[in-house]
Amino acid sequence: MAWLRTLCRVYRSSSSTSSWIMANRCPSTLSADMRFASFSSASTAYAGLGPTRPGVDKPRLVVLGTGWAGCRMMKGVDAGLYDIVCVSPRNHMVFTPLLASTCVGTLEFRSVAEPIGRIQPAISTAPGSYFFLASCTAVDPDEHTVQCETVTDQEGDKDSPEPWKFKLSYDKLVIAAGAEASTFGIHGVKEHAIFLREVHHAQEIRRRLLLNLMLSDVPGISEDEKKRLLHCVVIGGGPTGVEFSGELSDFIKKDVHDRYSHVKDYIHVTLIEANEILSSFDVRLRQYATKQLTKSGVHLVRGVVKDVLPEKVILNDGSEIPYGLLVWSTGVGPSPFVRSLEFPKSPGGRIGIDEWLRVPSMQDVFAIGDCSGFLESTGKPVLPALAQVAERQGKYLADLLNQIGKAGGGYANSAADIQLGDPFVYRHLGSMATVGRYKALVDLRQSKESKGLSLTGFVSWFIWRSAYLTRVISWRNRFYVAINWLTTFVFGRDISRI
């Protein structure tokens, strides 16, 4: 129970500096001194970290989220200027561009996950910096506090510890809580489809795929059931859906044909898209992707999903598509947490920000990444939900916060007179997507309308792999990724169902 030990550390260190550390509930596994902290108080206030004292404590920077934006920001922040307190339901960053490769065993799950303590070591070592495995549930910008609730792995399990609520005071708050998969309110999606956003989603996909492969080989399974079990349906023809379909078809062509040869003729991939696949890419690249996917055996269907049932998808035209594995990848929208915040909002319902990534009309609150968007008043468009946007906003904000901290504006309500310098400017570097069979697309245009270089084929695939290998956040994971690629090339993918 690392999070309990951390909270005990919070209590011990903070009880000397802060006056309002009090608990309203306490799991039975807490250490003796923590219990004392809880039961000695009759107050109904939450446990947590109280306000910092200028001149005694360092200003406290609270960061919500360990995604591309939050992690890049924490990596760049000077831990000598701020105590960094990170709150997130996961203790690692996911290198999302390579997540699809983990679903079929091209890469191992650990290769795409980077623990937060490696990204910003101060979180593990500095006395006033912490990581809390929790979700933020509310923000009070007037009081400069956030309210949080611990997360456990056993949600829905009656024996799991009750979530524990606590409060944190901040001097600066960075909201980098990402977005959630859009389901457009279609019935059955949340219940029956698997999203592809987190490592546990990729694990679920891999287990389901291997389970279906093994079930379909069992004596007595009917032909129709075999076909259903081995029909992998992907909804959404954006880069994630296309890359996942490409990985699946590679897996089928190379590994299923060799190691599940009894059922190799039954396994199929169908990609359903309402419009055109890869609609943000250049038309030539779209045509190339369509040709390559079709060549690899991916069945492309133009259609709109109306309903998702446990074993079949119903389209708007009434056609029914049975499936054994259903992966949903149709873009993202604001999460319930973001929707619940009574903050100014950008078009599309994201947290509204100005050119310096601040939430206007609130002191000391910033928002970056997929959860944020420029307010209409800035005259700038809402940026796409991309890692390259999130990463660059994270870097910009780290520099800005360092500048504010150095100028003495780190504490709450103390930065009003500080010159912020140049606003954040985003320049798109281009897009890439792999389509399987050692082929990829590279689109170096700055926008859909502008002209620029676009490449396809093996060279693009090589650029894709090299670019992502260099972008992987640590040398440790870079090494893991390179070794995984080599092992897969030489020995094939790992098909053990662990």
Ligand X SMILES: Cc1cc2nc3c(=O)[nH]c(=O)nc-3n(C[C@H](O)[C@H](O)[C@H](O)COP(=O)(O)OP(=O)(O)OC[C@H]3O[C@@H](n4cnc5c(N)ncnc54)[C@H](O)[C@@H]3O)c2cc1C
Minimum gap (Å) between residue 440 Cβ and ligand X: 11
> Which stretch in 23-31, 32-40, 62-70, 403-411 sits in contact with ligand X by CB under 6 A?
62-70
Q: Give the CA distances from residue 421 to residues 162, 233, 392, 400, 403, in Å, rounded to whole numbers and listed in that order.
A: 46, 49, 16, 8, 9
- Give the one residue of 35, 90, 187, 264 binding ligand X; rule: CB under 6 A: 90
Task: Check the CA dihedral 472-336-147-375 and report its sign.
Answer: positive
Q: Does 278 bind ligand X (CB under 6 A)?
A: no
Show Cβ contacts of residue 41 under 8 Å, excluding neighbours closer than 6 positions: 22, 23
Which residue number, 26 or 385, has a Cβ lying nearer to ligand X? Answer: 385
Instruction: Collapse the DSSP code of 471 into the 3-class scheme (helix H, G, I; strand E, B; otherwise coil) and give the result.
Output: helix
Which residue number, 69 or 314, has a Cβ lying nearer to ligand X? Answer: 69
- Per DSSP bridges, beta strands 194-195 and 92-94 are unpaired
Size, binding site for ligand X by CB under 6 A: 34
Q: Does 346 bind ligand X (CB under 6 A)?
A: no
Which residue number, 120 or 388, has a Cβ lying nearer to ligand X? Answer: 388
Q: Does 386 bind ligand X (CB under 6 A)?
A: yes
Q: Scanning residues 428 to 487, which ones bind ligand X (CB under 6 A)?
A: none
Contact pattern for ligand X over residues 160 through 189, marking x by CB under 6 A: ----------------xxx-----------
Contact pattern for ligand X over residues 193 through 222, marking x by CB under 6 A: ---xx-------------------------
CB-closest chain residue to ligand X: 67
Side chain identity at residue 29, one-letter code: T
Which residue number, 77 or 415, has a Cβ lying nearer to ligand X? Answer: 77
Task: Check the CA dihedral 81-83-88-94 and report its sign.
Answer: positive
Decide: 158 and 27 in contact? Cβ < 8 Å: no
Q: Scanning residues 358 to 377, which ones bind ligand X (CB under 6 A)?
A: 369-371
Half-sphere exposure of 202 (CA within 13 A, CB side): 27
Q: Left if phi > 0, otherwise alpha if psi is -120 to 50, otherwise beta: which for 55?
A: left
Quote the CA–CA distance of 165 and 86 in Å, as a whole number.
15
Of 287, 293, 278, 302, the C-alpha closest to 448 is 278
Contact pattern for ligand X over residues 104 through 143, marking x by CB under 6 A: -------------------------------xx-------
Quote the CA–CA distance of 310 and 194 in Å, as a whole number.
12
> Which stretch in 30-38, 89-97, 103-111, 480-488 sits in contact with ligand X by CB under 6 A?
89-97
Instruction: Collapse the DSSP code of 65 into the 3-class scheme (helix H, G, I; strand E, B; otherwise coil) and give the result.
Output: coil
Helix then strand then coil, in percent of the chain rounded to 5, is 35, 20, 45
Which residue number, 70 or 188, has a Cβ lying nearer to ligand X? Answer: 70
> Which stretch in 64-72, 267-275, 281-289, 436-444 sits in contact with ligand X by CB under 6 A?
64-72
Decide: 102 and 204 in contact? Cβ < 8 Å: no
Q: Scanning residues 234 to 253, which ones bind ligand X (CB under 6 A)?
A: 239-240
Instruction: Collapse the DSSP code of 12 into the 3-class scheme (helix H, G, I; strand E, B; otherwise coil) and give the result.
Output: helix
Decide: 178 and 369 in contact? Cβ < 8 Å: yes
> Which stretch in 15-23, 248-256, 386-394, 476-484 sits in contact with ligand X by CB under 6 A?
386-394
Q: Does 99 bind ligand X (CB under 6 A)?
A: yes
Q: Does 334 bind ligand X (CB under 6 A)?
A: no
Interacting residue ranges for ligand X, rule: CB under 6 A: 64-70, 87-90, 96-97, 99-100, 135-136, 176-178, 196-197, 239-240, 335, 337, 369-371, 385-388, 390
